[in-house]
Amino acid sequence: MKRQLLVVDDEQSSRRLLEFLLAPYYEVVCMSNGSDALKWLNEGNSADVIITDYEMPEMNGVELVTAIRKSARLYDMSVIVLSSEAPNALNTQFSHLEVKAFLTKPVDPKSLFWRVEESLGQLVKF
């Protein structure tokens, strides 16, 4: 059984690229904003790893991760944040939210796979 990833990004091209890269190895669910992702999670759905964009309308990455960390059921979910900003610039905003990794867009596929596998606790060579 494939592990499930939740990809949250408002850019359709980014969602399609991530799904294309990840779908051969994982079950991938895509959402276009943080509000829809949080609603999906609060309906009882779950993901082994959440990959979210930082800048999105309605609910950005910080707001999504904050809501996840406030939920007892969702708290332990691993989160990877994607952004066109440098990772150091995001550390301050996410420092208290226990994010597994920050990746810069455009995403390097090897780095993405490595971070997902690290988050799952099963480093595998692709």
- pLDDT given at position 86: 63
Residue predicted with more confidence, 100 or 12: 12
Residue whose structure tokens are 């809501």 = 67
Residue ranges of domains in the chain, CATH in brackets = 4-118 (3.40.50.2300)
pLDDT, tens only, 24-83: 999 999 999 999 999 999 999 999 999 999 999 989 999 999 999 999 999 999 999 998
pLDDT tens-digit series, residues 11-36: 999 999 999 999 999 999 999 999 99
